[in-house]
Amino acid sequence: MGGRCRRSGRAARRRRQKKESGTQSVSLCHQLQYVRLMKFLHQRGFTSSLLQPVFFTDTDRGLQTVRAIKPGQLLISLPESCLLTTSTVLDSYLGQYVKSWNPPISPLLALCVFLVCERHRSEQSEWFPYIEVLPTSYTCPAYFTDDVMAVLPSCVQRQALEQREAVRGLHSSNQDFFRSLQPVLSQPVEEVLTYEALRWAWCSVNTRSVFMSQPPSHFLSGLDVYALAPFLDLLNHQPAVQVKASFNKVTGCYEIRSVSGTLQYQQAFINYGSHDNQRLLLEYGFVAPCNPHSVVYVDSDLLCDVLRSDRGLAQKMKFLRENSFLNNLTVSSEGPSWRLMTALRLMSLPQTL
């Protein structure tokens, strides 16, 4: 008896595609926290149905396409009412405290304090559906232990320590401002605005915000370019992907448009920029496999070790340092960078400079 020919259905094709790619995925749509998030966004005008939250075995959380995204098609359009910016903070219960504080605090600190206070308010917070899906901790240098710091290459270690100290400094130098917020807190300020809480908020803003210039405000000091974008910030980085992202003043939405498109039921990616893995680690807490922008950094101390017998080494190093030739000395798959070659040529000159 001849075998019966069976046509593969949609579900079978999806299972086969996952098996072939080696990546497994599990939908998160049914989980209560994501149901709450989508309800929160829909109430604020978000209507897109092209993407859904999914757990991927290779990248953790991400967004999967429900339908194929064509080249040039809008991937996501998030209304301004869904974005968390300093305008959100100034219009909130914290606004009067931020506006009356002198000298003005930075936009970054304003956002960090708002996140901590909103997390403290829990379900009473208007932004609780977003706060609830934020990571509880991060893998960027501010979270590195001393043991981890100790095994980093010297150039990475230096910058990682600077980041950790910057967060500590932000916390220690703003204690008076934190104490002024006691009236809006249900617990002692020392128990709410802790270093650990501020570190969490700082990493949330620095790793998850999109670039969006805000109108200048005399209540804040410094460049104001941060916007936290719920749901949109679940999009992961892929070095080879090309997208166009910006705030559209006509539609009043932050929009991301795909350049090359994405197949149905595949993870949708964006591109954080042409960053090497060192910068990705320092700024976002991860590295990208097969990153075409990967480079190896050459520490200036290594150059000194190689040329330590040169009597004019100290004078040459002084010249290179004063003229900024010792920054970003790298080797890529294409060979030594121009800056590294220039430094090597100058250091190998027989005469002193």
**Beta-carbon contacts of residue 297 (< 8 Å; ≥ 6 apart):** 153, 155, 156, 278, 328, 329, 330
Q: Edge to edge, what strands does the sheet with 60-65 contain?
A: 25-27, 51-56, 60-65, 267-270, 236-237
**Contact assessment for residue 280 and residue 286, using Cβ atoms and an 8 Å cutoff:** yes
- Map residue 7 onto helix, strand or coil: coil
- Phi and psi angles of residue 268, each rounded to the nearest 5 degrees, phi first: -90, 130
Two structure tokens written together for 27: 């939908």
**Res 146: pLDDT:** 97
- pTM recorded for the entire structure: 0.86
CA proximity to 326, closest of 312, 313, 339:
339
List pLDDT tens digits, range 232-259.
999 999 999 999 999 999 999 999 999 9
Q: Which domains does the chain have, with CATH numbers?
A: 86-228 (3.90.1410.10), 296-347 (no CATH)
**Closest alpha carbon to 64 in 107, 17, 98, 20:** 17
Task: Give residue 152's pLDDT.
Answer: 93
Instruction: Give me the amino acid identity at 286.
Output: F
C-beta separation of 118 from 131 below 8 A: yes
- pLDDT (tens digit per residue) in 182-198: 999 999 999 999 999 99
Positions of the chain with pLDDT under 70: 1-22, 308-309, 351-353
User: What pLDDT, on a 0 to 100 scale, did the predictor assign at position 3?
Assistant: 42
Q: How far apart are CA 113 and CA 98, in angstroms?
A: 10
CA-CA distance, 240 to 158, in Å (whole number)? 29
